[in-house]
Structure 1
């Protein structure tokens, strides 16, 4: 018994924030400057009455419709989100009912960001290969833009909202999801944080996250990111993690047909590609039209790579997520 990724699809909200829109708000940042720094042209923004469960449901419906999947065939649902509709109930319970999944299906949330897709796949693999489930639906959904202070251009240029749905199934043979590697450094929790809106004030662990300290009028959440710290963390952990994944897989860099990393921003991805020595044609980047959608960047990129013919059946791919937590994870899969 082994687990494999059977199908991927995604959903983006209708409202779009372009670089032209941002440049009009912040004239000191030209369209060209934003594009050059981020590699992002457009971000999709959830509407005032559009939340993570809505995006998750839309992504699940897209997957079912486009891949002819029967909702009643799903026996476990994992929803990865850091922007749940409510403290309780879990978003997964709302999504299970709306998608028409059987009441015999398990449903649970996991609270992870940029590495969340890898963790979701790892949990799905464990459920399948331990005999607890045969068809697991992994949905990633985040509405980070609701956390962002409108006056904070540093993060408004980066983040967009979106959701992706992945079907993980028992393929009846050897596992095609392998070499899963995880990592956590909670000492970096202060580097990317939403300081307000929860039960505890985040300024206690990151004083710089306080809106007043940033000369901002609080919007109620005020997402804070220490960009240089996140960049340095990424350069520190990703190369070693790639080596660890390859060692677990018994593979070399040249054995991987396609690398799909968390789509943080184009500058960071290009820096990582060069540092790792991966040829550009084997390193997939897809964030210009969606921005950094946190937990959904990897599955969105996978779906785009498949639709454009870059990703073909039988290819060996490396997936790697890294960011908020601080947390990271990666794996090798056969498509």
Structure 2
């Protein structure tokens, strides 16, 4: 793949690309950077923390879960409210962990990106991600119920943060992780049961939409110049990432805390029609973005269909 004419300096295994041209090469990226500056918000003053966060007693009677309930499910009807509470705590905890991964990955993009426009927007995104970590850390602390990072999410973040090729850091973080997060935040906003998390997800989703647009602008042009070998490597990365991200929603950690047989619960999450639709909804933005950067070939599409992540396909 062609690289921009930049100087590269390595120190202790780290890579940084110096760019000595400071003019604007991509007006679209610079405009996105300007919008990002104008849209900054403060986690301390722009969230009405006094409104109070959710508690088990405030859980609504209607289901907040993308999961079927009833006799066929592994959770007894009497424990459904408790399960909704645990799912909410799990989901917001994963948001928090994912935002830390985005903070680390995007900070690497500032050093790795091949042009100044990309570096400047990446720098503005670092500020966004730090704010997201701040706001979700405070929310989870007030919630008083948290979960460790999901193993599949951890593996995905480890892979992205350790990647040496800047475009794959973009692909993994901006297209896959941020695309999934954007869909999740928007859904969380529509079904929020307390005003604090509703405010948080609305503001964070606004930021994430810019981040996904950033990834598309950065990759669309250069991915048209990939060699067949380079394209195959990136398609393989996408398929592994899709597998990891879909595994997040087996909910093993929640089943374990609820004293439900973990394998039984995971199988139910994989087969439940509502959960299948939920996963497909979560991947809609990713699928669209992969098409825009030219990575949605027959092999990738077949892999996503096998994982039941395409909205036009039935589960297998």
TM-score (norm 2): 0.27
TM-score (norm 1): 0.26
Structure that is richer in helix per residue: 2
Of structures 1 and 2, the one with the larger relative CO (CA 8 A, separation 6+) is: 1
Larger radius of gyration between Structure 1 and Structure 2: 2
